[in-house]
Amino acid sequence: MRYFQFILFFAMLSPAVLLGQVLPHNHQGKLTAHTPTPPQLELGSQEINELQQGNYVIKQFQSDSHGGGYIVQDINAPVEKVWSNILNFSKYTDWVNHVEKCEPYEQSEDHLKVEFIIGAIGITYQYYIDHIIDNKNHYMRWTLDYQHQSEIDDVVGFWYLQQHPLDPTQTRLFYSVEIMLAGWVPGFIQNLFSRNGLVDAASWVKKVSEPEVEQKPTSEHSPVMPLLMMPESD
């Protein structure tokens, strides 16, 4: 009996696991990656007024195949402190809800590759992100690491920080993501990829960067992963 259990166990493993191989992703990029130059996102007077009132500015889009958006939020903390928190991947499992694993596995020059696992109700998603970090401009863009097979079809995005134009002790945060998923998506993943998910992706940074400032109530923090803007249910 134990012999057949042993055979069944190994039959369930993929050839890559048996051979210790790393399978590449099934493509080398479908979405357009962001350029090395930090984005120039223009804010209108109404949007600036929203930020001055302590609110955020958010824009979204979606199609049948993919979705995305960006959020802008002011944080009452200096740029260097906010930037340090964003780069502190070792704390993501403590700071960000549903992140079960966040582990760098390769670093070279300005690239930092990180394995993520997010999960809930017994369902997990694993994906590998190649971050390209520009410390001078406080700009980090990312794509999938196409040398590893991820359970997300494709993703591109960025974090970008600016010194607040009116107060050098504060930070203006820009977060953007565009993502493509394949096949059925469980409900908790769809919830993370909703409008609230985009808001919470920026909210966790604000919370850990200015802990002494009382935060407005928000839903649970969503992972600092590329987030899909799914249509909200009626």
Q: Domain ranges for the chain, please list them.
A: 44-209
Q: Which residues contact 63 (CB under 8 A, 6 or more apart)?
A: none
Looking at per-residue confidence, does 155 or 17 come out higher?
A: 155
The stretch 133-151 carries a mean pLDDT of 97
Amino acid 32 reads: T
Amino acid 195 reads: R
Reported for 53-62, long-range contacts at CB under 8 A and 24+ positions apart, including other chains, are 54/216, 56/199, 56/202, 58/195, 58/198, 58/199, 60/195, 60/198, 60/229, 61/229, 62/228, 62/229, 62/230, 62/231
Residue 48 scores a pLDDT above 70: yes
The C-alpha atoms of residue 215 and residue 222 are separated, in whole angstroms, by 16
pLDDT of residue 12: 39
Residue 233 scores a pLDDT above 70: no
Amino acid 190 reads: Q
pLDDT of residue 129: 97
Fold of 44-209: Alpha-D-Glucose-1,6-Bisphosphate; Chain A, domain 4 (3.30.530)
| φ/ψ of residue 185, rounded to 5 | -120, 125
For the packed helices 79-86 and 195-209, what is the interaxial angle rounded to 10 degrees? 120
Q: Is residue 195 a contact partner of residue 203, using CB atoms and an 8 Å limit? A: no
Of the candidates 90, 85, 87, the one whose C-alpha atom is nearest the C-alpha of residue 101 is: 90
**Residue 152 confidence class, pLDDT cut points 50, 70, 90:** confident
pLDDT of residue 188: 57
Tokens 């009452």 label which residue?
Answer: 76
Q: Model pTM greater than 0.75?
A: yes
The stretch 204-224 carries a mean pLDDT of 63
Listed range (37-46, 116-125, 135-144) with the worst mean pLDDT: 116-125
Listed range (29-33, 139-143, 162-166, 185-189) with the worst mean pLDDT: 185-189
Listed range (39-43, 115-119, 215-219) with the worst mean pLDDT: 215-219
Residue 190 scores a pLDDT above 80: no
Share of the chain above pLDDT 90, in %: 55
**Residue 179 confidence class, pLDDT cut points 50, 70, 90:** confident
The stretch 175-190 carries a mean pLDDT of 73
The C-alpha atoms of residue 180 and residue 28 are separated, in whole angstroms, by 13
**Residue 171 confidence class, pLDDT cut points 50, 70, 90:** very high
Residue 108 scores a pLDDT above 70: yes
